[in-house]
Amino acid sequence: MSDMKENQGQAWIKNQVMAQGLCTGCAACVGLCPYQKFYRDQTAIIHECDRTWGRCSSYCPRGQVDLNSLRQAMFDADDLTPELGAVKGLYMTRATDLQVREQAQHGGTVSALAALALDEKLIDIAVLADSEKNHSSRSVAVSTPSEVASLSGSKFSVSPTVAKFNEISKGESSKIGVVATPCQALALARMRVHPQPGDEERVKKLALVIGLFCGWALSFKELGRLIKEKAGAELIEGMDIPPSQHKIMELRTDKGIIEIPMEEVQACVRESCQYCYDLTCEFADLSVGSARSPEGWPVDRGWNQVLVRSDKGQALLDLARSRGVLEFKTVPQGNLDKLKAASLGKKNTCMIQLEEVSGRKDDLIYTRREAVLCQ
């Protein structure tokens, strides 16, 4: 370990996370300490803190973290795979409710599962992302299935999800579910496995994490610039990214679909995303992404693929099947291997980028090379 890595607390976060361009905007350090705040898609230090240890560095997904110890604490050892973390099963699903599918991104599986968890009293609050008119994202807490439906659809900028959990978990809610991206789920996993003194009861309220596959998030500022350049005053009704061979991002507007070349979109990706090893949200109870099949994008955009990771995630998916909330179809042969290959590609890219930042091959700032691949 370098001398700088021995300096914990806010100083380490400032020097080794924020200054290195690693801050994900998950906002795990917001809401527990008055010295950090979240604005649009940035976490900012508003007052210096001289503590040498704090919850900010303890929970930060880019703070020092033993990924393998987290995996072993959270998942069955027999389910662990090097490329994807824990895998109990891979499924293809979509919401049976046509209205849910029409409102949601792709198959509506996330919306259906979150609504089901609320309806069955598995959770009493769900923390979700919402879009603002200026294309930034915010996090909201909802308590009814109808509210879940109103927040459907992917958001491509960062929302302060973990800060919202920090806020809600201090209140009366006893069972909280969170829809999280990989970095957000990692922060929640650090809380769950190693709660800091005084946080034990608060963290026990985390009852469910539904993960989202995530390749990257877009800068709020750059996304706004790109949309203004391409769409002008047209009303943006949604965004989507077809499979990589299409090499475009779609903007759905009140006048039709605008296609943006992917190289222009890539220029808007947050710097911190190139240092993320996790494509499939490995620290969730189950993880959901867009489907891939030989039928192609016109069919796949109406379906999701789901990786189940924990007993809790399996129980929720089984309940969705028994209640008729989700429709299932056969997973094409080879899909799991393709997903492993995609995930491994992201891990390798991450390690290359972290080597360049750290100047080392073993000490990759927030983890070690051998821990990126699940052992």
Instruction: Identify the H or E element spanning 58.
Output: helix 55-59
State the CATH number of the domain containing residue 224.
3.10.450
Tokens of 101: 């599918």
Check whether 361 has a pLDDT greater than 80.
Answer: no
Check whether 267 has a pLDDT greater than 70.
Answer: yes
d(CA 26, CA 201): 22
**Do 301 and 177 fall into the same domain?**
yes
pLDDT bracket for residue 7 (50, 70, 90)? very low
Q: Of 268, 273, 233, nearest to 254 (Cα)?
A: 233
**Do 257 and 290 fall into the same domain?**
no
Total domains in the chain come to 2
- CB-based contact 29:160 (threshold 8 Å): no
**Do 39 and 122 fall into the same domain?**
yes
**Do 278 and 321 fall into the same domain?**
yes
Percent of the chain with pLDDT over 90: 54
**Do 327 and 210 fall into the same domain?**
yes
Among the candidates 266, 301, 336, a domain finishes at 266
**Do 277 and 240 fall into the same domain?**
no
Distance between alpha carbon 341 and the CA centroid of its chain, in Å? 20
**Do 259 and 286 fall into the same domain?**
no
**Do 255 and 273 fall into the same domain?**
no
Residue whose tokens read 């400032």: 14
- Is the Cα torsion angle 105, 107, 112, 113 positive or negative in sign? negative
The boundaries of the domain holding residue 246 are 220-266
**Do 212 and 232 fall into the same domain?**
no
What is the value of pTM for the model shown?
A: 0.92
**Do 90 and 225 fall into the same domain?**
no
- The one-letter code for the residue type at 101 is R
pLDDT bracket for residue 249 (50, 70, 90)? confident
**Do 276 and 256 fall into the same domain?**
no
**Do 289 and 171 fall into the same domain?**
yes
Lowest mean pLDDT among 88-92, 176-180, 182-186, 270-274: 270-274
- CB-based contact 288:110 (threshold 8 Å): yes
Residue whose tokens read 């499979």: 243
Among the candidates 230, 249, 266, a domain finishes at 266
Among the candidates 204, 235, 266, a domain finishes at 266
Phi, then psi, of 120 in degrees rounded to 5: -90, 5
Q: Is 239 helix (H, G, I), strand (E, B) or coil?
A: strand
